[in-house]
Chains A and B, each alone.
Chain A
């Protein structure tokens, strides 16, 4: 096995361990939590807000290919897709497909 190959295996192992840690600790902690308790409601709020923070961070300050796209274009695409989502009675397929099309078209013409 080459040095690079064994490095990649270690990197995958470390990434998997770091990810499973959060998941399994969550299960362990939840064993003592009742779904009608305040602590459950508290973690429900934290979960939704953390997801929202992650998604907006990915759009506003992305990593990878989206870094090359003008922020205004990204905002227009997200805003247009949210409107499509509500116009189509909360159908998620249309905004999902249209997001890629809108972005590609806007990059070409703006």
Chain B
């Protein structure tokens, strides 16, 4: 079924010096506290991260719920902000393909797709035997997902003790961690162009369309970076 050696090798990757554990923990701690403050109970907070496990989407859900948005609006809002998961999946799962592995592993483990696990996998996949990359991925995903669930629960439980300043401090940890990780993943001019242009165009397109800015900015920057790569080949 699952190769336990590769699974645990992936699981242990969150212990390295570039581990996302701290950033993930801080962010989901804040989400747990936020969910309690808007009226979720313990089980609902737990299952929110258990089934969704996507920070920006859960933030949109919380904000939409607060203002009494309809379910259709919530679906569209969350889908838009989480649409980045589609190109992330398309640019990662071909690296994990093996004819000897069953399809269910891919469709089950895609739930673990998040910025943290994706960046770890993109960095480490070459060091793993092709046949067992999906097991390694399931290990990474299970570890990051577990950290997120545990931190949500902890955030829910300690929310009364978290001051406004502490919540603000926790909120900056996630973008700083992922921005540094993205900068660290720049290996060539194409990825460099993608990251730098995406960083500039995301906020620029926010001025045009707050809802679509991530997709507009991301796609414009990505297409430009791809063309830069093609002309340099």
Contact = CB atoms under 8 A, between A and B. Distances in A.
A24 B202 contact: no
A77 to B, nearest CB: 6
Contacts of B93: 26-27, 30-31
A39 B229 CA distance: 13
A63 B159 CA distance: 19
Interface in A89-110: 90-93, 95-97, 99-101, 103-104, 107
B22 A15 contact: no
Interface in A7-24: 8-24
Interface string B154-190: 0000000000110111111111111111111100001
B150 interface: no
B86 interface: yes
A9 B47 CA distance: 9
A57 to B, nearest CB: 4
Given A5-B41, A49-B198, A77-B172, A43 B87 contact: yes
B interface, size bucket:
35 or more
Nearest to B118: A47
A63 B34 CA distance: 12
A66 B222 contact: no
B101 interface: no
Contact of B79 (A18, A56, A68): A18
A64 B39 contact: no
A11 B56 CA distance: 15
B182 A51 contact: yes
B90 interface: yes
A89 to B, nearest CB: 9
Contacts of B181: 92
B168 A19 contact: no
